[in-house]
Structure formats: C-alpha cells, structure tokens
Amino acid sequence: MILDPEPPIARCIASMSITKTELGSILYKEFVKEAIAYAQNNTFNVLHTRTNATDTDSHEILKGIEMSLVRTEWTMSLDFDAAINDHYPGSNFSLAPFKTGTDEEILATLQNLCFQEHWGFSPNTRPQIEAHMKSPYSPPEGVKILRLNNLPVGYVWTEQESSTEGILGKIGMLGVHPNMRGKGLGNYLMTEGIKFLKECGATSINLDVDSENSSAWKIYQSIGFSKIAEHHWYEKKLNSLDGGNTL
C-alpha cells in the first residue's frame, strides 16, 4: 500500500494491489482501514482510492466500509495506423522542450492554471516539478511548453517506460491556458506529443482521462485514441469539510 498525502486539498490517496485470493481480499480490507485511520489521524478531509472497473471484489469491500464511487476514469490507447495530421497554430507560437533550471516555476504555474477547476487536482509546486523531472520515466525533453509571443499558454507532458513489449509511451498531462481554449491548441499539443513518443520508438501510446471531461476525450477520439479500460475512484469522507481547501 502506498499513501500519497495532498495537503493543499486536504486529501490522501491510497494505492493498493492485492492478489485475487480470499487472503488477498482480507488484506485489502485491512489496508483500506489502515489508510482511513492514517487519513483521519492526519486531519485529511477525504481518502480516495482507484480500482479497476472489473474488480468487483474490491468494489464490494469499499462499499462495505461506506466508500462511495465518485468518479470514473478511462484509459485510452492510440491506433498506430491512424493518420496524424499537423495542426500548426501559427507563426506567433513556439514549442520547445522543458529547460531544467528555468522552466520549473513556469510549468508549475501553468499547470495550476490549466487544472485548477478539475476534480482531484492538487496544486503543483516548483519542488514537485523538480522531483518529477528526475524520474527516468519523465525526462525533461519529453515535456513541451507552448508559448504565444513568449507567454506560456499550454504544455504536453509525455512519459516512457521500457517493457518486454517495447517502449510504452504515455501522454501524462496536457493542458491549455483557460484563456486560450477553443483554438485547437490541445489538438496541436497532443499530436506533437505523439510524434515525439513515436520518434523515441514507442510501441504503444496511452493516456488517462476523466470520463466526464467530454471535450478532452472527444479530441482524443478524433486523433485515433479509443477506450481500452475503465477505473473507478472511491471516496471516504472523513473530517469536517468546513474552512478547508478541499475537492
């Protein structure tokens, strides 16, 4: 079990993976109870955990301890045979890789602006961006920042992982400044992220999206992504929600 505290939104996320056996189910329930106790003792307002939609045993356990299904998330995969069309936004725009030592604060600010209204988003800080950039799965050159006349207006964050099946690519995050939406920039950033991952030798490209974010997944569908899996987020409300920055 991994516990990921997010103090800015008074949330704690519990990640668990258990074998599908009777003992595994018992351990899973105990782990969830421990996670709830940890979150309560550290004055978090909510505990969230993510499960596969097909994992009915986990769903029954979570419902049995009064956790509620609050969100559905899709995993989508790219059809590599789909034609990827260029969507160059214009000469006033420029796209460049993340620059270590220069772009940390820029990316944190931009990401917070892009996702401040999204469910479950916890504001990012410069130290968090710095830590992410040290991950072997998320090298700085895989993050592209889009600028309009040198002002940051969007970004795409790609990830890579080697496996026996080849290089698994992922569009980890993609955001467009709220004032610049509806101009095709999300489509442009997505295609640039795909092209980068393909150039790196990716044999597959996936992404995760909130099922309620229809404006996003419709763009992904138009590019060639299709749903391959579904996950459910469960929530346990804990301490009083008054006076805190919560979901």
Please indicate, yes or no, whether residues 86 and 204 belong to a single structural domain of this protein: yes
Looking at residue 247, its pLDDT comes to 52
Q: What is the pTM of this model?
A: 0.89
Q: Is residue 244 part of a domain?
A: no
Structural domain including 196 reads: 80-223
Q: The domain that contains 53 carries what CATH number?
A: 3.40.630
Query: What DSSP line would sit under 88-127, residue for residue?
Result: ---TTEEEEE--TTTSHHHHHHHHHHHHTTSTT-----HH
Please indicate, yes or no, whether residues 69 and 93 belong to a single structural domain of this protein: no
Cα 96 to Cα 93, 155, 156, 180, 189: the distances in Å are 10, 9, 10, 18, 11
How do residues 149-191 score in pLDDT, each as one tens digit?
999 999 999 999 998 889 999 999 999 999 999 999 999 999 9
How do residues 12-39 score in pLDDT, each as one tens digit?
999 987 777 777 888 999 999 999 999 9
Please indicate, yes or no, whether residues 94 and 178 belong to a single structural domain of this protein: yes
Please indicate, yes or no, whether residues 155 and 65 belong to a single structural domain of this protein: no
Structural domain count, the chain: 2
Please indicate, yes or no, whether residues 50 and 155 belong to a single structural domain of this protein: no
How do residues 88-100 score in pLDDT, each as one tens digit?
899 999 999 999 9
Q: Is residue 97 part of a domain?
A: yes
Contacts 24+ apart (CB under 8 A), 65-70: 65/29, 65/32, 65/33, 65/36, 65/236, 66/236, 67/32, 67/234, 67/235, 67/236, 68/234, 68/235, 68/236, 69/232, 69/233, 69/234, 69/235, 70/233, 70/234, 70/235
Please indicate, yes or no, whether residues 145 and 91 belong to a single structural domain of this protein: yes
